[in-house]
Each structure stands twice: as structure tokens, then as C-alpha cells.
Structure 1
């Protein structure tokens, strides 16, 4: 029974404060959209691919399992070499880029597929053409420097990077959804916080529980403005008794022998 009452209380709070919850969700979603659409600069990405093979002196010789395993064992090493200062500094000098090695490294992602000889290089930049140029320059520089570093010439460019004019960031839809969810959570938290700070009695059962007083009667709350609209030609004295507004000095007490200076409220 207590769990059922608790659930009813939660539903009642949400229904009472739904405007606050919805408002915060809308504000969060709208704010995320405005920031993503007008404040965050677009970021474009381009990718190139390299393949690591075993270099054979005889081009007609068959590739053995040992050759394949040797190539795969070099993949992780090549991933580190690709973003090493030696490669990136050469890329900056050849491309005359206004970046430091650390800044350029943050723009580059190197990915591989398990048990695959293919290395994918993805570069993100604010200009689609420059992203493609940097990706291709990294691939060419790596291909040229590998024989000097590893004493093996087994890297070939599999696919050139092309400019992609569709931005990959910011992800406006995802940002809007996440901001709306945060707004919903904040609104829900605020609703229950306001409810916890509200020290008024909500119903007669709370009076009985907290004060241990029996409830003798309940006075309904009347909407005076709505009552006046329902009886536009009638004064307060001529209104039906069940709709006349209860004033501060009125007392609903048997015997009516209560002094006016008494300000206590009796139930």
C-alpha cells in the first residue's frame, strides 16, 4: 500500500509541475540547437587508406603465411609511427601548416581492422579541402619515411582522400536530444525540490498524519472571478449560499460565540 501511495505522490508531483519540466526541456533543446547551429564552427573529415604488404624481390612469388603474419605484426608499430613527431613535423613543413605537432596530432585518427593489413588515416579540419590535403600528405610522408625508419619498403597508398563537404561536427540532432534529456532531468529534480520545500498541507490525510488531529470538515476553494462571471448581475449578498466567497473574518463555528479579536483557525 505504501508503495502505491508513493507512486501516486510521484505522479501527482509530475502532473502539478509539468510546466516547469517541459519548459526546462524546451529551453535546453533550443539552447543546444542555437549553439550547435550558430556558435560551433563546422568540422569536416577526410580519410585515406594504406595497405601493408610484404615486399618481395620476385613480384611473381606467392605470399606465404609467414609474410602475412610479419605484415600484421607491423601494424601497431606503424600506427604509432604515423603520428610520431618525425612524420608530423615533416608534414607541417611540406604543407606549410600553421600548426604545432601537438595540434596536428589532435586532428588525426589512425584506425585499423583486426587481422587486416589496411590502415585508415582520418583528418578533421575546419576546411574540407585542407582536411583531404593533410590526409594525403600524411600518407605520402609516411610511405617515404618508412624505409628509412624501419628498413623495409612495404607500404602502399590504397585510396586517396577526397574532400567531404558534409560536416561531421557539431552533431546538432544529438546535441539537441541530449540537452532536452538534461532539461527533463533538471525539471524533474526541480519539481521534487519545490515539493519538498513546500511546507503547506496538501490534503486532509496529511493533517491527520502529521498533527494527529481528526478532520471535522473541508472547505472547498472557490474561484471568485469565475463565480462573478456565472452570476454577472448579482451582488455577493444575492449569490447562492454555496458560492458566496468566504472572507477572512467569517467563522464556521457552532454557537458563533467567538470574539472578533480571536485569530485562531479551528477545524
Structure 2
């Protein structure tokens, strides 16, 4: 693509620059007003975890995989009608605000986000959705409470086991420094008692761990409770304005190209080359007198239009000299004897062009005869 074709295809944008500038500005203003007119939305988030891998000191791949599968299942359940209806009944509302439930990739975590115009409503719905999911789990709300109690007891047993092990280690170290046989026997008896206590604690811990759901896969734990939001969600003002401006610019540019595509008139030398496939010889600037004045004869045409004589140093006269030169180059192979100047309509300027071209050729030393073939309204003689 040469420079001429590039200029031709860019011409609609340059010609209609005011159109797409105005359209872009109006679209950006519309985007701004629309965004500002939207009500404020508050978002409350809650995060839950399926399974207890995070609290299990030795989690295995199977339990983690099953927890991830269950997380996707619970995320789907959270959007079902039974959970939605139970949440509305618990809160005493007739409809729920919009909310989303998503599984954090490659984890057992589920994030619940609730958007509402009322921050307290968003907070309440987020917490109640979590509560309803817990009720849907095998543990349920009642068993979940027992789970918390057993977890506390397990923590106490772990602490007792740790203290007992430390006491045994301490007594064994003291035994090395005792020389009296009676004291050695007493210390060994004390160590044996502590070891029996440790064995009992470990047995109790193992039994309680086996009877509890700690380490179970199909349980729900609240990782992050919902809170009352204090700030509204970002309205994306800049993004919306920029998007509206881009859409307005694209539509305006498309409209400019459509207008130019529908316009089949020829206005420039570029149009001649692109549409007709021929080169122009010259482009003559417009003169001051109007077409209607020339047609009616109210303006003496040769007093104002014969630029080659009245103003030979003007740009218009130079254009006719360029026309003369190009015609001479075009007729190098065969000498130019006769020229026919015509146009589609009356008043297009063929008489003016003929007269000035004749003057330009005469200035170059040629003998010229001008014949006006318009027998109805001749202007040359």
C-alpha cells in the first residue's frame, strides 16, 4: 500500500474528525453519568473449608482430593433453591441479593460473596448461607458443636502428653546422678508411674481421635466469617468511562467510513486515481466567483477568470501551467494537435479551463485557436 492509498483510507477520519471527537466525548459523558447514577453496592465475603486437612498433622493425598471434589459439590449446593429458601426463611426476607459462590483453585476453600445495597443485609446473607451449608453437611449444626468440644479435649490431652514426656525425661536425667540404691529404686518407680500415665493418655487420645470427626473429609469449617462492609464496592468509573469512549469512537469511525462509502462522488485527485484508475493532470484551486454567476452571465467571465493574463503569478495560474506541462509530457511520442475539453454538467469550468490553458500554451510559444463548441451558450467568442 503506497502513501496515496493510505491517505485515501485515512481521509474519512481526517474529514470527519469533529464527528468522532464529539461522539467520543458524548459516549464518555454518558458512561460517566450512567456509572454515577447506579446505586452503591456493598459486598460481604465469607470463606469456609471442606475437610480438616489444615488441622491434620499428616494429611494424605486422597483426603485432599476428596475435599476438593466436595468443595465443588458444596459450591453448587449453595446456589440451589433449598439453600436459598432456607436462607430467606431464616432471615425473614422475600428475596436474596445477588451472590456468588466460587471454589478457590486447587484448594478446599469456598468463597461466598454477597452484594447488596444494604451492608447489614449483605453481612447477614453471607453468614446465613454458610450456616445453611453447615446444616447440609453430615455433621450438621448439633454435631458441629460436639465436634468443637471434642477438639478442645484433644488439645488438652496433647498438652498433658507433652508435660508427662517432659517429666519422664527430667526424672531419667536425675537418675544418672543418684548413687543411693534406695533412691534409685524410688526414682525408677516414679518413672514407671509416669510411663503408665503417658500410656493411658496416649490411649485416650487415640480413642477420642478415632471417635471424633477430626480428620474426616466431609466436614465444614468457617475460615473467615463475614463482616459488615464499611465501604461500597468500586464502581469502576474509569473503566466504564474509557469503555464508553472507545465504543463511541469505534461507532463514530465506522459511521464516517460508512458515509464515505455511500458517497460515490469524486472530490479529489485521489478519488480519480482510486476509483477510475487514472492519474490527474492538475488540480485547479477554486476561484472567487460562483457558478451561478457564471451561468447567468452576471459576471464578465474573462474579466475575473482569465487568471493567466490578470494574475499570472497566482496559484491558479501556476496550476494551469502545470496542466500545460503535463499535457506536453503526455504527448512526447506524438505531437499534440487538438484538445477537447468537456465536463459532465454546465458550469463545471470547462470554458475557464479552456481559456486559461490556451493562454498557458500560447505563453510557451504555441499558436492556439480556441473553438467554443457550446452553440447554446458560448463564452469564448
TM range (shorter): 0.7 to 0.9
Task: Give the distance between the partners of 2:35 and 2:348, measured in 1 at CA.
Answer: 58
The alignment's TM-score, normalised by the length of structure 1, stands at 0.72
Structure number with the bigger relative contact order (C-alpha 8 A, sep ≥ 6) is 1
- Higher mean C-alpha displacement, 21-30 vs 164-173: 164-173
From 115, 131, 134, the counterpart of 1:124? 115
Cα distance change of structure 1 residues 43 and 208 upon mapping to structure 2, 3 Å threshold: closer
Question: Residue 231 of structure 1 corresponds to which residue in structure 2?
Answer: none
Match of 1:197 among 243, 249, 262: 262
Indicate if the aligned counterparts of 2:42 and 2:229 stay in contact, CA closer than 8 A.
yes
Structure 2's unaligned 5+ residue stretches are 144-212, 290-302, 315-346, 356-369
Measure how far apart 1:45 and its partner are: 1.3
Q: 1:141 to 1:213 in 2, by over 3 A?
A: closer
Number of aligned residue pairs: 236
Name the CA shift for 1:208/1:155 in 2 (closer, same or farther; >3 Å).
closer
Structure 1: gaps spanning 5 or more residues: 225-236
Q: 1:212 deviation in Å?
A: 8.5
Of stretches 139-148 and 40-49 in structure 1, the one that deviates more from structure 2 is 139-148
Partner of 1:11: 10
Aligned to 2:35: 36
TM-score normalised over the length of structure 2: 0.53
Which residue of structure 1 lines up, in the alignment, with residue 240 of structure 2?
A: 175
| Mapping 1:92-131, distance limit 5 Å | 92-99=88-95, 104=96, 107-131=98-122
Q: 1:263 to 1:108 in 2, by over 3 A?
A: farther
* Displacement after TM superposition at 1:197 (Å): 2.5
SS in 1 for 2:110: strand
- Identify the residue that residue 229 of structure 1 maps to in structure 2: none
Q: Secondary structure at the residue paired with 2:138?
A: helix
Q: How does 1:123-142 map to 2 (within 5 A)?
A: 123-142=114-133
Distance in 2, matches of 1:167 and 1:97, equals 22
- Find the aligned partners of 2:6 and 2:272 in 1 and give their Cα distance: 20
Name which of structure 1's ranges 133-142 and 251-260 shifts more when overlaid on structure 2. Answer: 251-260
Q: Look up the match of 1:49.
A: 47
1:26 maps to: 25
What residue number does 2:137 align with?
Answer: 146
2:84 maps to 88
Q: Please list the CA deviations of residues 138-157 of structure 1 after superposition, one character each: whole Å capped at 9, or x if unmatched.
A: 112222332278x9862121
State the Cα distance separating 1:96 from its structure 2 match. Answer: 1.0
* Higher Cα radius of gyration: 2
RMSD: 3.6
Residue by residue over 1:91-124, the C-alpha shift from the partner in whole angstroms, topping out at 9 and shown as x without a partner, is 101101121xxxx3x7121122233122111111
Kept after mapping to 2: 8 A contact 1:52/1:75: yes
DSSP-derived class of the 2:248 partner: helix
Aligned counterparts, 1:246-261, within 5 A: 251-252=351-352, 253-254=354-355, 255=370, 261=376
2:59 to 60, 64, 67: 64
Distance 1:148 1:31 in 2: 53
Shift of the 220–144 alpha-carbon distance from structure 1 to 2, 3 Å rule, reads same
